[in-house]
Chain A
């Protein structure tokens, strides 16, 4: 018997990056990502944030690298998974105005406004990543009782893959600005 999904239409198909860890996956809306690169020339920088560790050069600009991999491992209690790193490039101009302004302020406070790219941010993740297309309605909102704290912290929904593993849909802009760039003293 063939199961036909009545509400599957082309307009409901959405492309995601599927980031695979040992016991769970993460989904990132492909529209959030400008480009991805594998870089071997990261330059370490000192920082008050655990998740800001280095800078890469992309299109001749110094782009701060935020360690999304470390954040996901810390937050979701994921065991170590050895993997090469992939860098996702975020186009700053696509971010919300308040977040762009926060970034400018952060650079200014740290006297970095002339050195750091105002066009891009980089996110380090593991390289076990696939581009997949999902019917939007295969992604479910979180249960009502816990939707609020999850949404506030950049977890928009979840689906289950073919192996029945959960895959959390992440709002990476919210995670970047409420978690990864949260530095002591920064407002």
Chain B
């Protein structure tokens, strides 16, 4: 089997699996996962997250922007590791916990320092951002936690958009 045949078979296999996959149910629940990256707290909507992996090694991958820190192994599948702190302010530090993101057509993991809490936030507590708000371009909303800190909820679509622009 030469390399072209080999890649064609792998692509056919992957397409077959994608067709079998169930569509993701979008719920109205605003459950939110708050995490720490270095000293800063951020959040994702819990529906954006499929799984949390702890104590995993990541492997360097070349030819990608520096905020892509490498790949991790999730059940034998490579997942792209994104360091949001490196993306936001260029600060690169290693951590060994990862949020596996709930995406149909890609395999993304977010490197985090620790989970802070999983909490329910009512909609009227959320401060939604306009998509044209360049200052908060990577965030969809924020809320005030019990300690009176403003926690920013990361917009996964914007992270993916940035990735796509940088790669292509």
Identify the A interface with B (CB < 8 A): 12, 14, 23-24, 29, 31-32, 75-77, 136-146, 148-150, 152-153, 155-160, 164-166, 171, 173
Q: Which residues of B contact A171 (CB under 8 A)?
A: 3
> Does A29 contact B108, Cβ atoms closer than 8 Å?
no
CA distance A14 to B7 in the complex (A): 12
Which of A29, A75, A149, A152 lies at the interface centre, i.e. has the most chain B CB atoms within 10 A of its CB? A149
A149-B63, A156-B6, A158-B71 known; A142 and B78 CB under 8 Å? yes
Are the C-beta atoms of B160 and A145 separated by less than 8 Å?
yes
CA distance A76 to B57 in the complex (A): 15
Q: How far is the CA of A72 from the CA of B80 in the complex (A)?
A: 20
Min distance, Cβ A76 to any Cβ of chain B, angstroms: 6
0 or 1 for each of B62-105: is its CB under 8 Å from A? (1 = yes)? 11100010010100111110000000000000000000000001
Q: Which of B1-60 contact A (CB under 8 A)?
A: 1-3, 6-7, 9-11, 13-14, 57, 59-60
The distance in angstroms between the C-alpha atoms of A77 and B64, with both chains bound, is: 14
Are B63's CB and A157's CB within 8 A? no
B163 at the interface (CB under 8 A from A): yes
Complex A-B: 30 CB contacts under 8 Å: A14-B6, A23-B59, A29-B2, A29-B6, A31-B2, A31-B3, A32-B3, A136-B1, A136-B9, A140-B76, A141-B14, A143-B78, A143-B79, A143-B80, A143-B107, A143-B108, A144-B105, A144-B106, A145-B80, A145-B108, A145-B160, A145-B163, A149-B63, A150-B63, A150-B64, A155-B62, A157-B7, A157-B10, A166-B59, A166-B71
Residue of B nearest to A136 (CB): B9
| Residues from chain A with Cβ under 8 Å of B167 in the complex | 145-146, 148-149
Assembly CA distance A88 to B121 (angstroms): 60
Q: What distance in Å separates the Cβ of A90 from its nearest Cβ neighbour in chain B?
A: 13
Given contact pairs A152-B63, A158-B71, A166-B59, enumerate 17 new A-B contacts (beta carbons under 8 Å).
Answer: A29-B3, A31-B3, A75-B62, A137-B10, A139-B10, A140-B77, A143-B79, A144-B107, A145-B106, A145-B160, A146-B80, A149-B63, A155-B62, A156-B3, A164-B57, A166-B71, A166-B78
B168 on interface, CB distance cutoff 8 Å: yes
Query: How many residues belonging to B are interface residues under a CB distance threshold of 8 Å?
Result: 34
Main secondary structure of the interface of B (DSSP, over half): mixed
Query: Complex Cα distance A35/B9, Å?
Result: 26
Give Cα A139–Cα B11 distance, bound, in whole angstroms: 11
Q: In the complex, A155→B106 CA distance in Å?
A: 18
Docked Cα-Cα span, A113 to B163, in Å, equals: 44
Q: Which residues of B contact A (CB under 8 A)?
A: 1-3, 6-7, 9-11, 13-14, 57, 59-64, 68, 71, 73, 76-80, 105-108, 160, 163-164, 167-168
Main SS at interface, chain A? mixed
Cβ distance B75 to chain A, nearest Cβ, rounded Å: 10
Given A159-B76, A166-B59, A145 and B11 touching (CB < 8 A)? Answer: no
A15 vs chain B, min Cβ distance (A) = 9
Q: Which residue of B lies closest to A153 (CB)?
A: B63
| Interface-centre pick from B57, B64, B71, B160 (highest chain A CB count, 10 A) | B71
How far, in whole Å, are A173 and B7 apart by their CA atoms in the complex?
14
Complex contacts, A77 vs chain B, CB 8 Å? 60, 62
